[in-house]
Homo-oligomer: A and B are copies of this chain.
Amino acid sequence: RVALPVFASDALSSVAYAPDEILITLSLAGLAGYAWDWRIALLVALVMLVVIASYRQNVRAYPSGGGDYEVATTNLGPNAGISVASALLVDYVLTVAVSVSSGIQNATAVLPFLDGHEGTAAAVVILVLMALNLRGIRESGTMFAIPTYCFMVAILGMIGYGLFRILVLGEELRVHSAQYGIEPDPEFAAFSGLAMALLLARAFSSGSAALTGIEAISNGVPSFRKPKSRNAATTLALLGACSISMMLGVIALAKLTGLKLVDLGSSHYTLDGQRVDVVERTAIGQLAETVFSGFPIGFYFVVGATMVILFLAANTAFNGFPVLGSILARDGYLPRQLHTRGDRLAFSNGIVVLAVAAALLVLVFQAEVTALIQLYVVGVFVSFTVSQIGMVRHWTRHLAGERDPAARRRMQRARVINAIGLTMTGTVLVIVVVSKFTQGAYLAILAMIAVFGMMKAIRRHYDTVADELALAPGETGELPSRVRAVVLVSQVHKATMRAVYFAKAAAPSTLEAVTVAVDPERTEELMEAWDRLDLDVPLKVIASPYREVTTPLLEYVKTLRSESPRDVVCVYVPEYVVGHWWEQLLHNQSALRLKALLLFSPGVMVTSVPYQLRSSRLARGRRGDQRVRRGHGPVGR
């Protein structure tokens, strides 16, 4: 028995929308289009067979789970790698957007009040998934396997029972939408020649959504039981078999029950020749209602299982995206905050980025599955294609060094499989891009190019910094000759005194207190108070013609440095620490700003001398442990 891993839900759940998209696209040509539905479905099934066969080679060759990014980088170099990575990052966002939108579409069958608020509802579900993943839901395989099995049982059961009723019992099952005719989109009404070819290409592209999710499996090999590659390959085969039979079953049942679906933007239902504006449910919803007529629990089970597996599919992206993000951050293509070194914070960043992007997408597209699918399919087929190119190169490379005839034969056979896969996915990619370009494919391509450019720029920045910071062999730098200490003073109180004494304890070469004369009266008071203290530290008053603090201080520090450039200036800033962020807001942020500006001055270091006020000690007692326990990435990087 091979356990269905967590991410199987991604691949299987595509059955919930791929048949719908075929039927909706064909409806553009009116009823005549539906003559082609099973041929398109068979073609999609064929492509799926080939892709699955190809991916079985992938998981065998790359059991470490680096997935398509690893395959492309190893075999085709970093640019190909980050091309695939761009496609996959976009793909993860769309997996969430499409799955949740489709889930909401199914939920609307049971909860009609969602109607008209799909975008908001989808965004809410995404934020809930984000919250669950931020809290860290335990990914027990069983918990995720049960809904997956339920979905398979539900769909295959529905198909079986439906076919049984129709073929064996000879009942005539008709779905509600069977009564309608279809008013086609005028553009495709003639249904001949080039327009027809384009329409069939579009329908096939939409149906290719059935393959989405397969690309995620090769990233997940490490979570299989041993022997990993083998189990993964077996699972892939099983998944493929299930996906194909479910998809063909749904299409067959749809055909037998006269099911129709339209895209209200272009084609319309008609009744007795009159246009009617009704919104019919998803194919699965309509079929479940008809097959289980008089047995509503069956209907609820099918629709519920579909909704749950779609949300699960969205959830797999919340696992995959941060992992890929972490790998890309490790390689310097994404900000280091996404690279995890043993704590959840980096993962949290990835989870939030994914959720925000997906939520924006569903809000903008109002959770319309048909619109989002166009973007989704492009991303998935880009990664399929580049990955297959990589696999062909992989086998060619290994064949060059292999002498054993048996191994060579095995490799040659694998190369043929991947080459067929490449031809197939490449062709589909071209079809998808050409037939879908104006429907949104261009958006997906733009997004991938943007992500690609961003990753290149980030890597360039990191490389520049590393070069600049690298020590030449034997280079260690230069010991400054003296330390000149400056304590910033604005008032005489305990925090100031602490800073003065801490500075004194460090025994600098010179030590002085410095204040900026902004308000003559207060400066006078300060000077008197300082004299009364009778310290052996002189107080220097800096004039400020424009009543500012920052500029005169920066200028003064610069002067100190220019007097003897090998010296280091150490600026001591008295700070007080309060317990709440809102208390901190009540204190002038100018110390923070001054510190930030001093960091731009060469040869200056800035020392914060904190004075912990009572409220900070209380806060530390209250939250200290918890805050401190949240670990973090490397320091100074």
Q: Tell me whether A518 and B599 are in contact in the complex, defined as CB-CB below 8 angstroms, given that A471-B493, A506-B506, A607-B605 are known contacts.
A: no
Contacts of A632 in B (CB 8 A): 548-550, 588, 590, 593-594
Q: Which residues in B have their C-beta under 8 angstroms from that of A588?
A: 336-337, 632-635, 637
Nearest chain B CB to A250 CB, angstrom units: 47
Q: Cβ of A138 < 8 Å from any Cβ of B?
A: no
* B residues in contact with A488, CB < 8 Å: 635-636
With beta carbons under 8 angstroms apart, the residue of B480, B492, B550 that contacts A630 is: B550
Q: Is A51 an interface residue (CB 8 A)?
A: no
| A600-B620, A605-B607 known, 8 other contacts, Cβ within 8 Å | A343-B546, A469-B611, A477-B494, A549-B632, A549-B634, A549-B635, A574-B636, A599-B610
A629 contacts across to B, CB distance below 8 A: 548, 551
* Of A508, A610, A614, most B-chain CB atoms within 10 Å: A610
Contact call B586/A548, Cβ cutoff below 8 A: no
Q: Which of B464, B496, B551, B631 contacts A547 (CB 8 A)?
A: B631
What would 22 A/B residue contacts be, using CB atoms closer than 8 Å?
Answer: A341-B518, A342-B544, A464-B615, A468-B614, A469-B491, A471-B492, A471-B494, A548-B630, A549-B635, A572-B605, A573-B635, A576-B636, A577-B600, A588-B635, A590-B635, A591-B635, A591-B637, A594-B635, A599-B608, A605-B609, A606-B607, A606-B608
Q: Report A399 CB to chain B, min CB distance, Å.
A: 32
Q: Mark A566-589 against chain B: 1 for CB-CB distance below 8 A, else 0.
A: 001010111111100001011111
Interface-lining segment among A6-14, A312-320, A497-505: A497-505
- For A502, give its contact among B337, B462, B480, B496 (CB under 8 Å): B480
A633 touches B590 (CB 8 A): yes
Could you tell me the distance between the alpha carbons of A291 and B635 in the complex, rounded to whole angstroms? 76
CA distance A27 to B474 in the complex (A): 91
A616 interface residue, CB < 8 Å from B? yes
A597 within 8 A of B: yes
> In the complex the two chains form, is A628's CB within 8 Å of B583's CB?
no
A172 at the interface (CB under 8 A from B): no
Residues of chain B within 8 A (CB-CB) of A490 are 634-637
- The interface centre, meaning the residue of A551, A591, A594, A635 with most chain B CB atoms within 10 A of its CB, is A635
Q: How far is the CA of A465 from the CA of B613 in the complex (A)?
A: 7
**Are A479 and B497 in contact, with the CB atoms below 8 A?**
no
B residues near A336, Cβ cutoff 8 Å: 586-588
Shortest CB-to-CB span from A564 to chain B, Å, is 13
Q: Smallest Cβ distance from A471 to chain B, in angstroms?
A: 6
Q: Which residues of B contact A538 (CB under 8 A)?
A: none
Q: Is A528 an interface residue (CB 8 A)?
A: no
A169 at the interface (CB under 8 A from B): no
For the complex, is A595 an interface residue (Cβ under 8 Å from B)?
Answer: yes
Give complex CA distance A519, B631 in Å. 14
